[in-house]
Every structure is written in structure tokens, then in C-alpha cells.
Structure 1
Amino acid sequence: MKILISLLSITVLLSGCASQLKKECENTNWFQHGESVAMRGEWLSSDPKILSCRKEEAEISESQADQGFKSGRIKYCTKENSYLVGKTGDPFVPQFCEGSDVKTLTSNHTKGIRDYCAKNNGFTAGASGKKYRNLCPTDLESGFLPEYKKGRLRYVEAQIKNAEDRRRELDYKMRLAMMELSSAESKVSNLRGQMSSLEAQRIFANSDNNESMKNDINNRISSLDSDIRRAEWSVNDAQRAKNNIQGEMDRLSKEISDYRTEMAGL
């Protein structure tokens, strides 16, 4: 019974996750999503969200996504956008722009990169949290990077502090979750003890051929069985909550470790 309920719990949990993803897919504005994919200089065929939604067999408006992609591609392949992409320190994909003046787009992107790589933008770029993409030309990089590292150091320090604050909050939540889980497990253990006692009484009633007692015990066992199932669901819920907290704590620990490693090199 315990194994069956546990398997059922896992099935329902996975089903719930899948249903949530499917719902999210079907509530997506696919025109806007297709446009955003193109504005990143990427193709719909390799977009992670579309691939995940197709895997879930969710309803996707392929036509809307395609129309949005075409709209985004037009916007991406403009002189203004190629400059802005460079100004934010990102690479530009000229081969994404069929029939466009690639030379002009590339030239505008280079202008944007040079503005991004100006020494007086270094600190702001570093403090923004965006990682350096190694796109600055040699004549600007020597002035840009020291300032960028100062800004990046401030950003990393702030991220470490935020992550450590959050981890302390999770430490408290974990203690509560463990208490909740222990309480739920104790209730299940107590109910199973009661079930064992009733089953022993049923054996006695069967041997004594006491129909009235047997019926009463069977009714109590049936009711108790329902109580045990509900209690086991509570254990599963408590375990899931604990696991979620632990997962976030592990993620934060790795994040802090990664930031400390990076900070040592700044």
C-alpha cells in the first residue's frame, strides 16, 4: 500500500508539472514570443521554449510564432538595432539578415561596440551584471576592462550578500519544513499502529465468529485506511516542500561559490 501510494504521488506530481508547462505554453502570446526570438538573433527551430512545448504536445500557434519571428527579424536587421546591439556589448549576427545591407549593419554594430567599450562606460557595464563578451577592440579594451572589473566587483559583492541573506531565510524555512515533515511522519506511524491493532482485533473476531464485531472493525479499518492515505499525502507534500527548499539552498550555495571564485579574479 505504501509503495502504491508513493508511486501514485510521484505520478500526480509529474503530471502536475507537465500540466503546468502545457498550460503555460497554451497561454503564451506566440506572436510576441516569435518576435523576441528573432530580436535575439536566433531561429525558432532551436528555441528552447518551443521545443519544450512541442515535447509536451501543447497547442502552439505556429502561424503566430512565424509571423512574430518575421516581424522581429525585420526589426533586428535595421541600422538602429545593429548599433544598439553593439552598444549593449552583444554580438550581432549579420547572416541572419537576408537581403539587408550587411556591410552597413556590421559597421553600425562596430560603432555601438566602440561606444560600449569606452573607458567611461566600463564601470556602468560591469555593475549592470552583464558579463563581458570579449568584443572590445584592442585599442579600447585596456582602458575599458579595469573599469569594468570595478563595476563587476560591486555587482558580485551585492549578489553574494543577497544570496547569503536569502539562504539565511531558507535555513529558517528548512527548520520549519523538517518539523512539519516529522509531525506528518509521526501521524502516519501512529495511524499505522492503530491499523495493526485493529487488524489483530479482526483476526480475533474472525476466530470468534463475531459478525457484529467483525463489521464494526471492518468499518473502522476502512475509515482508518482513508485517514492513512490522507496522512501519507501530507507526508509527500511536506517532503516535496522540504526538497524544494533544499534545491534552492543548493542553487544558492553554488551561486555564492561561483561568485566568490569570480571575485578572486577581479
Structure 2
Amino acid sequence: MRPAAGLLATLLLGGCATLDRNECLQANWTDLGARDGQSGYPASRLEEHRDACREHGIIPDDRSYLAGREQGLRYYCTAENGYREGRRGAAYQRVCPLEAEAAFLPEYELGRELYQLEQDANELRGRIDEHERALGDPGLTREQRYDHRRELDYLYRELASLRRQMDRLEGWPGASGR
């Protein structure tokens, strides 16, 4: 049992490293920085790479990485990407320079609001399904059926309201990311 636990711990710890030995050896730090910037990682990601490569005796090229990251942020910090990131529910790490953030953030927030409304609608659909299944139970009393139907009416109204909010937001003139 002990060797298995040790192997599991090694695998779990190894899975946390941002780069493996070969990636550290062959890293083009400018390209890696650009990819991290395009993905919206904060500058602290370099420290994670440094920690991963330290155990292999490799030191990252900070200057090249940060220059690449800056290039990558130019792609990430656009209004269109802000909308996409918000729409998929991604967390924003406050990585955009102020001038780019002015375009990115409103679109991100719009996308994020739509994402949250979708999550709420999915939750309502799940509750609707539960009540509709419950109505199929032949052992329900008249009062229980009434309660399920009343709850269904409420849930359908809530779902319709969410759909109207989503339609309104999706038609928002500032939603350039669509």
C-alpha cells in the first residue's frame, strides 16, 4: 500500500508543474510568454515556470518571457476576447493594461452576465424537470399535484424572464464580441 501511495503523491505533485523537464530545456521563453499572455495569465505565472524548471537546473529568461507575454496580452485584452472570456465563465485576473482594459472590461462583464444568466436558466430547467417527473407519480395527492403545478408555473415564468434578459443583453449594441 505504501509504494502505491508514494507513486500517487509523485504523480499528483508532478501534475502541478507548469512545465516538464523537456519543456524547460527547449523553452522559447518569448513564445511561452506570448501563449501565457494570450491565455490571460498574470505575470506571476513566470514564477510558476521558474519553480517547475528549478528542479531541472534551468533558469527562465525573464526578459524574453515578459516581452512575449506583453505581446500575448495585446491579443487577450481586446473587446472581442473580453466578451468571449466572459461568455465562457472565465475569471479575469486583472492583467490588461488600463488603456486596453477600458475596451476589454465592459465586454467581459456583458459576456459574464450572459454566462451567469445561462447558468441560472440551466438550474431552472433542472428544477422544472424534477417537478415534471414528480407529476408522473401516480401516488400523488391532489394537493401535491397542485403544488407541483403551481411551482412549475412559477419556474416557467422565471425562465421566460431570464430568456428576455438574455435576449436584451445579446442585442446590446456594445456587444462587439459576437
Normalised by the length of structure 2, the TM-score is 0.54
Q: Which residue, out of 122, 126, 144, partners 2:104?
A: 144
**Residue equivalent to 1:20:** none
Q: Which has the larger radius of gyration?
A: 1
Quote how far apart the aligned CAs of 1:141 are. Answer: 0.7
CA change 1:78–1:166 in 2 (3 A) is farther
Any runs of at least 4 consecutive aligned residues in structure 1 with deviations exceeding 6 A, and if so which? 25-28, 172-175
Aligned mates of 2:134, 2:26 — CA distance in 1: 48
SS at match of 2:16: helix
Is the Cα contact below 8 Å between 1:83 and 1:108 reproduced in 2?
yes
- What secondary structure, in the 3-state scheme, does the structure 2 residue paired with 1:38 have? coil
Partner of 2:176: none
Deviation of the 1:139 alpha carbon = 1.0
Q: Which runs of 5+ in 2 are unaligned?
A: 51-57, 140-178
Shift of residue 35, structure 1, vs aligned partner: 5.3
Identify if the C-alpha distance between structure 1 residues 72 and 174 changes in structure 2 by more than 3 Å, giving closer, same or farther.
Answer: farther
Corresponding residue SS for 1:106 = helix
Aligned residues of 2:29 and 2:68 also touching (Cα < 8 A): no
Task: Kindly report which structure 2 residues correspond to 1:111-260, keeping only aligned pairs within 5 A, or say none.
Answer: 111-170=71-130
Q: Does 1:38 align with 2:17?
A: yes
1:28-82: CA deviations, max 9, x gaps? Answer: 6x65x5554112x8xxxxxxxxxxxxxxxxxxxxxxxxxxx54565577743232
Instruction: Note the aligned Cα RMSD (angstroms).
Output: 3.8
Q: Which ranges of structure 1 fall in alignment gaps of 5 or more residues?
A: 1-22, 42-68, 180-266
User: Judging changes above 3 Å, is the alpha-carbon distance between structure 1 residues 27 and 143 closer, same or farther for their aligned structure 2 residues?
Assistant: same
CA distance in 2 between counterparts of 1:123 and 1:169 reads 31
Aligned to 2:172: none
Match of 2:40 in 1: 89
Q: 1 or 2, which has the higher helix percentage?
A: 1
Kept after mapping to 1: 8 A contact 2:33/2:64: no
TM-score scaled by structure 1? 0.38
- Separation in 2 of the partners of 1:143 and 1:157? 22
Q: RCO greater where, 1 or 2, for CA within 8 Å and sep 6 or more? A: 2
> How many aligned positions are there?
125
Deviation at 1:130, TM superposition (A): 0.2
Query: Residue 106 of structure 1 corresponds to which residue in structure 2?
Result: 66
Distance 1:172 1:153 in 2: 28
Q: String of CA shifts for 1:122-171, please: whole Å, max 9, x gaps.
A: 21121121011111101111111111122112211111111222244456
